[in-house]
Amino acid sequence: MPTLDLKSEVADWPVGRVAVAVVGPGGVLARYETGGGTTRFAWASVTKVLTALAVLDGCADGTVRLDQPAGPPGSTIAHLLAHASGLPEEAGPARYPPATRRLYSNYGYEVVAEALADAAGGPFADELVGRVLGPLRMTGTTVEGSPASSAVGSLDDLIALAAELLTPAVIGPEIVGWASTLAFPGLDGILPGFGRQTPNDWGLGCEIKDHKTRHWTSPDNSADTFGHFGQAGSFVWVDRSASLACVSLCDTNFGPWAAQLWPRLSTAVLGAYRR
């Protein structure tokens, strides 16, 4: 098995603390973390993957339904998960009719989390622990605030999430499949940090690379690569065609440095480990 020196790959990143790992079907292939592996990092919008999985688990057991009305008129839980409800990024009225534009919406994720909590009769935080964090043994991760952006957790926990997305065994393939399969195809929109995408493809929770012209993964990643990145300098991607996942956390916000260096890291990962 080839090896990749992750420490060298991130040596010129303009960050303080960083944690990166590569995951295959059999487990961790490589990892590097400054500070001895005890740091908890902000995940920012990677939180949305956790929230989506919790809501989709609720759909699987009948607590809620994908076609259940939620959000603005005409919108459903599926629209909210796929950023197709028309709701803006922050709280406010819908800007577009549902399924006419991919409008990235933190507010939409707060609305969909509330829908699950209302149906379940308890706090969304309990649903998240019971449906996702607990089953995946992500004991170092907490979400105390917005279900769109407030997760704080360890590299080990992000590895656990990536491993489940790559090879679903606990939450299960149906739920991961919903999260990572294109929903409401053909919608144009803005991919935060990378500009207008035509189309701007998304699943019911995870962003899908498809044929986006500018992206935070490598040009060598397959079109079916899915995952999420966050403004806290975090990402998780899964490329089943390569049988690989890659995760990263750091203490520095996303910016032009990440748009340039994350794809380079992903290219190196694929070059070293792609089957």
Dihedral angle sign, alpha carbons of residues 117, 140, 133, 226: positive
Q: What percent of the chain has pLDDT above 70?
A: 99
Closest CA to 225 of 171, 181, 173: 181
Residue 37 has pLDDT above 70, yes or no: no
Predicted confidence band at 260 (pLDDT cuts at 50, 70, 90)? Answer: very high
Q: How far apart are CA 142 and CA 138, in angstroms?
A: 9
pTM value? 0.97
What CATH number is given for 6-44+124-273 in this structure?
A: 3.40.710.10
pLDDT tens digit sequence for 190-209? 999 999 999 999 999 999 99
- Over the chain, what is the mean pLDDT? 96
Tokens of 248: 């990263």
Q: How far apart are CA 22 and CA 257, in angstroms?
A: 20
Instruction: Indicate the domain borders of the chain.
Output: 6-44+124-273
127-152 CB burial, b ≥16 within 10 A, e <16: bbbebbbebbebebbbbeebbbbebb
3-state secondary structure of 216: coil
Residue 228 pairs with which residues in a beta bridge?
A: 236
